[in-house]
Amino acid sequence: MQKQILGGCFQFESNSEALLRLVEDAYAGLPQHQLPVTAPPFHVELRLVSRYAPIESVEPPPVQMQSGAGVLCGVMDAFNYVMLVPDQQRALIVASEDMLSRAYHLRYELIEFVVFTLATRGLGLVPLHGACVGRDGRGLLLLGSSGSGKSTLALHSLLQDLDFLAEDAVFVHPDGMLATGVANFVHVQADALRFLDHDEINRWIGQAPVIRRRSGVEKFEADLRDGHGRLAMTPLKLVGAVCVSREPADDPDHLLSTVPLPEAIAWLANDQPYAAGQPGWHAFAERLAQLGIHRLRRGPHPRASVEALRQLLDSAGATFPAAHGTHPHGDLATGDVSF
């Protein structure tokens, strides 16, 4: 099986059709992003093995990392682990038969880990924990602590006609500040549904599978490829970032405030500790801070937050003309969505 993911070509092979179906579920139907960098194809082998020990808990053990001799390893247990050789663009994923019943953990913690790591190392990308939405080829990073509302804001942006790039992980090519991601799912908690008064959208999310994070938080995992809203068909050129805050705004008509440049660089490093230790971070952080970082406090309604993002994107349009187009991935049959 071959897939274009994050601007790279991935070739998957396996002794198990079930494992290849997980790859298909994760990466089928995604926009075919291209980046101004080339790399040899990434090769990923998925090997299914029999388990000879009983399952002792509902959740599998957390992944433990080891590295050395040019090899990077992530180990759950003796039957579930990954081995990557980034310099050779190759990886091995080993999974036990019982892990097929834990598809979320298998996909998220093993398969996705391999794909993201190979793409980051092989394509020279900066990996970020956050979301990204845009318009007319321009993009805004949505950053902030867990629980700040990034996923909910990204969902509302999608439903109010902004282009959706990614909800949980964003990868940036630092030279051109082009952002790419995997727009397969959006994860929202049940309380986010209270802002939706559109029956079709409520059904789409409410009928989605529920996943449980390691933190214990449960979220709907709604498939973005079902045709609701628009996916960014090309990488988005970043024009800034937004720190999504839980704090309510003092003035509901003024949700945004600019973060001063020195503070912005320090805040970025604190918000993205993993990325801050990766090659290319300092140049990326300086460029992003110079583009502008804004703090977004909560308004009385999610619609106001989306409008604030739209104004930022429009104001940036005069300075940064769109370099990449987007195309509809699907529209709501009943028209506009109100909140």
Query: In a 10 Å sphere around its CB, with 0-12 CB exposed, 13-18 middle and 19+ buried, how is residue 107 labelled?
Result: buried
Answer with the one of 80, 108, 124 that is the final residue of a domain. Answer: 124
Residue 92 belongs to some domain of the structure: yes
Three-state secondary structure string covering 122-187: HHCCEEEECEEEEECCEEEEEECCCCCCHHHHHHHHHHCCCEEEECCEEEEECCCCEEEECCCEEE
Is 60 exceeded by the pLDDT of residue 201? yes
CATH code where residue 285 lies: 3.40.50
pLDDT of residue 192: 80
pTM greater than 0.85 (yes/no): yes
pLDDT of residue 332: 31
Let me know: does 7 contact 39? Beta carbons within 8 Å: no
Cα separation, 79 vs 60, whole angstroms: 11
Assess whether 204 and 293 both reside in one domain: yes
Is 60 exceeded by the pLDDT of residue 318? no
Residue 324 belongs to some domain of the structure: no
Please report, as a single letter, which amino acid is at residue 24. Answer: E
Query: Six-digit token pair at 12?
Result: 């998957």
- The mean pLDDT of the chain is 89
Lowest mean pLDDT among 2-6, 49-53, 187-191: 49-53
pLDDT of residue 339: 23
Q: For residue range 98-156, what is the model confidence (pLDDT) as tens digits?
A: 999 999 999 999 999 999 999 999 999 999 999 999 999 999 999 998 777 888 899 99
Residue 105 belongs to some domain of the structure: yes
pLDDT of residue 322: 55
Assess whether 136 and 272 both reside in one domain: yes
Cα separation, 196 vs 208, whole angstroms: 15
Label residue 296 by pLDDT band (50, 70, 90).
Answer: very high
Assess whether 251 and 299 both reside in one domain: yes
- Which domain covers residue 79, as residue numbers? 2-124
Please name every residue paired with 166 in a beta bridge, in sequence order, or none if there are none.
132
Residue 336 belongs to some domain of the structure: no
Query: Six-digit token pair at 312?
Result: 């930022």
Assess whether 23 and 65 both reside in one domain: yes
Assess whether 94 and 149 both reside in one domain: no
Question: What is the pLDDT averaged over residues 216-226?
Answer: 91
pLDDT of residue 253: 81
Cα separation, 33 vs 181, whole angstroms: 9
Assess whether 75 and 163 both reside in one domain: no
Cα separation, 30 vs 27, whole angstroms: 6
Residue 332 belongs to some domain of the structure: no
Per DSSP, the chain holds a count of helices (H) and strands (E) of 8, 20
Assess whether 113 and 148 both reside in one domain: no
Q: Residues with Cβ < 8 Å from 19, sequence gap 6 or more?
A: 46, 48, 93, 95, 100
Is 90 exceeded by the pLDDT of residue 220? yes
Is 90 exceeded by the pLDDT of residue 290? yes
Cα separation, 144 vs 295, whole angstroms: 9
At residue 105, what are phi and psi to the nearest 5 degrees?
A: -65, -40
Is 60 exceeded by the pLDDT of residue 264? yes
Report the percent of the chain where pLDDT is more than 70. 91
Assess whether 193 and 304 both reside in one domain: yes
Assess whether 14 and 119 both reside in one domain: yes
Q: Tokens 């979220």 label which residue? A: 219
Residue 328 belongs to some domain of the structure: no
Assess whether 131 and 116 both reside in one domain: no
Assess whether 160 and 292 both reside in one domain: yes
Conformation bin of residue 292: beta by default, left when phi > 0, alpha when psi is -120 to 50: left
Strands (E), the chain: 2-5, 8-14, 42-49, 64-68, 71-77, 80-85, 90-96, 126-129, 131-135, 138-143, 163-166, 169-173, 178-181, 185-188, 210-212, 218-223, 230-231, 236-248, 256-258, 293-298
Assess whether 108 and 220 both reside in one domain: no
Eight-class DSSP state of 286:
H
